[in-house]
Amino acid sequence: MKLNTKRFIAGILIVSFFVYSIVIYTVGTRVDKGEKYVTEQAKKGKLLFQKKNCIACHQLYGLGGFMGPDLTNEISALGKGPLFAKAFLMAGSERMPNYHFTETEIEELIAFLTYADKTGVSPVKKFKINYDGTVNWKGKDETRD
Amino acid sequence: MEPLTGKGKMKRETSIYFILFAILSLLGGIAFGILGAFQFVIPKFFELIPFVKCRPLHVSMVIAWIFLSATGGIYYYLPRYCNVKLFSNKLQKIHLWIFILTGIGVIISYLAGKFGGREYWEFPPVLAIPIIISWIIFGFNYFKTVFTKTEPWPVYLWMWGTGIFFFLFTYLESNLWNFSYFRDHLIRDITVQWKAGGSMVGSWNMLIYGTAIFLMDRIQQDNRIAKSRLAFIMYFLGLTNLIFNWAHHIYIVPNAIWVRYIAYGISMTELLILGKLIWNWKRDLTKSLQDFHLLSVRFIIASDVWIVLNLMLSILLSIPAINIFTHGTHLTVAHAMGSTIGINTMILIASCLFLIPDVTKVQFSKRQSLTISIGFWMMNIILLFFWVALILAGYHKGYMVVEDKLTFQEIMLKIRPYLMVVAITGTVIFAGVLMVFVPALKLIKAYLRST
């Protein structure tokens, strides 16, 4: 392969990296179905979620550690909800540490989980598999535009 | 081992410190991994360092192993074997110091329970600043060095440069969450985080695969492969995947739908890489097997086997129809562990076993070579059990989650036996790694005494 060909391909790929990045930061991630729930409290809750490293054991959208359950839809899940979550946050469990949160902190975490719940569905349990190997499911494709 | 004293003092190589700290970091990282694995199956196990701290200690120290060993190798190989003079030794030393001091900072922050809570990089975000500075320094030093080379670069020089360049940008990208535009929009935040994370893994793979090609080129004294057209086609295909395939980690996140299609399509081009590997395997393997007695070559051959196994797994996991079951289960962990241990660590061990005798001018004794060989077989055979146990755990969990009949606790109880196997085999892998590195550490110790 000629040096100029290599430079040309590498150049195109590098430029497409930056262009694609900007596309992802904007149009690729414009929609947020939970937008209305992004309150000051929820924002603080998200930071608290990070500072306490909840992600070491929990997942959002299946991403994170696997010791505890996925928390994306904790707030709307059958038989769970804010009070159920609060109980864990107040006392921990055999595996989950007790963080000795204050009442305000618990409210913030719940506000964040309430927001997360509105953004989508995880884990996906109802879906349809297409012949090309793609999948359609509620919470992603149906509500699109 | 012949004593070095009395020969006059050699000048001490800075790169040996990268390797020394890399090895220590790996040993520490695996130890925390084992602790975490046991905490997974036995609640309240070793409460002094709870799981919430063990996990990041494990991840960060193992990543530090990858970077320190890859970087140390590049610093050493450039001036010795690539016909260039390192632009600045001083910058190399500064890089080393920043790395070590930041590493200590990271460990202290975890032990103190101070987190930033981001996947892979769970430390507070201020510590990202020295990391970014160190990569700018590394990149500056690297490009200043290789741009003096007049003849065409072999593919590994391209790969190392690409790895450094893209690591810097993807690492910066992974810190965008510090701006509220990203942080306060969960879908954007997760998408950008996994875009950065996915490409970042691609960038360190560039450093590592480059090292593997370099080593085979050196050991077999044949630079045709590293300059061949096919090598460059594979490199560009790898780079395309680095840029576009990351969304297979986040198919279920509700971002724009084409993000998923692009990732799916590009991920499938990995079939070409897999095909090429299998197609050439017999020829390449017959050639490498002639050098099987060489310790480095042996580890590279093992990595080749793991590349094929993991590539098959990762291609399957990239198909949305399969991913919907496997996402969020230990199948992802199987893929991550298979690649970091089976591929990355095997190649980087090969590099260490080439570099250490080269720096110290002392070969491993017969006995030491035997110990390393036993460690080699132990690591690879047991890794297979470890890997399969994770796959089975993931398969069962994925199935049970979608079936939606059991509670989380019940599912975890069902996969517990597999996770127990993971913890136990992980311990044996650690023993294998120790057998490989104790002789290597002895050589380094003697060298540091004599210089």
User: For B212-236, how does the pLDDT look when each residue is reduced to its tens digit (9 = 90+)?
Assistant: 999 999 988 888 889 999 999 999 9
Give B396-445 as a DSSP string.
HHHHHHHHT-S-HHHHHHHHHHHHHHHHHHHHHHHHHHHHHHHHHHHHHH
**pLDDT over 60 (residue B1):** no
From chain A, pick out residues whose CB is under 8 angstroms from the CB of B168.
Answer: none
Calculate how close chain A gets to B290, using CA atoms only, in Å.
30
Tokens at residue A36, please?
């209305």
Question: Would you say B98 and B137 are in contact if contact means Cβ atoms under 8 Å apart?
Answer: yes
A-B interface: how many C-beta pairs under 8 angstroms? Answer: 180
pLDDT digits (tens, 9 = 90+) for B74-91: 999 999 999 999 999 999
Q: Are residues A47 and A117 in the same domain?
A: yes
The Cα B214–Cα B279 span in angstroms is 21
Q: Are residues A109 and A123 in the same domain?
A: yes
Tokens 């509670």 found at: B407
Calculate how close chain B gets to A49, using CA atoms only, in Å.
7
Closest partner residue to A66 (CB to CB) among B50, B192, B330 is B330
Q: Are residues B266 and B197 in the same domain?
A: yes
Q: Are residues B285 and B251 in the same domain?
A: yes
Closest partner residue to A144 (CB to CB) among B249, B257, B261 is B257
Q: Are residues B319 and B451 in the same domain?
A: yes
Residues in chain A, overall count:
145
Is residue B277 one of the residues assigned to a domain? yes
Closest partner residue to B184 (CB to CB) among A10, A43, A53 is A43
ipTM: 0.95
pLDDT digits (tens, 9 = 90+) for B37-80: 999 999 889 999 999 999 999 999 999 999 999 999 999 999 99
**Residues 116-145, chain A, touching B (beta carbon < 8 A):** 116, 119-125, 127, 129-130, 133-135, 137, 139-141, 143-144
Task: Please name the amino acid found at residue B187.
Answer: I
Q: Are residues A44 and A94 in the same domain?
A: yes
Alpha-carbon distance values, B418 to A16, B28, B43, B342 (Å): 43, 24, 16, 19
**pLDDT over 90 (residue B377):** yes
Q: Are residues A70 and A10 in the same domain?
A: no
pLDDT digits (tens, 9 = 90+) for A24-60: 999 999 999 999 999 999 999 999 999 999 999 999 9
Please compute the mean of the pLDDT values over residues B266-294 and round it to a whole number. Answer: 84
Query: pLDDT: is A14 or B4 the higher one?
Result: A14
pLDDT digits (tens, 9 = 90+) for B404-451: 899 999 999 999 999 999 999 999 999 999 999 999 999 999 999 998
Question: Would you say B432 and B34 are in contact if contact means Cβ atoms under 8 Å apart?
Answer: no
A19 touching B (Cβ < 8 Å): no
State which residues form the domain around B165. 152-292
Q: Are residues A71 and A11 in the same domain?
A: no
Reported confidence tier of residue A139, pLDDT bands at 50, 70, 90: low
Alpha-carbon distance values, A5 to A2, B166, B233, B236 (Å): 5, 20, 11, 11
- Percent of residues, chain B, with pLDDT higher than 70: 98
From chain B, pick out residues whose CB is under 8 angstroms from the CB of A122.
Answer: 252, 328
Here the CATH number for the domain that contains residue A48 is 1.10.760.10
**Residues 60-99, chain A, touching B (beta carbon < 8 A):** 60-70, 94-95, 97
| pLDDT attached to residue B62 | 98
CB contact under 8 A, B243 and A13: yes
Calculate how close chain B gets to A26, using CA atoms only, in Å.
9
Look up the pTM and report it: 0.95
Question: Would you say B122 and A50 are in contact if contact means Cβ atoms under 8 Å apart?
Answer: no
- Percent of residues, chain B, with pLDDT higher than 90: 86
Question: Would you say B12 and B450 are in contact if contact means Cβ atoms under 8 Å apart?
Answer: no
Is residue B305 one of the residues assigned to a domain? no
Helix, strand, coil: what percent of chain B each, to 5? 80, 0, 20
Alpha-carbon distance values, B203 to B94, B159, B162, B171, B210 (Å): 22, 9, 7, 10, 11
**pLDDT over 80 (residue B282):** no
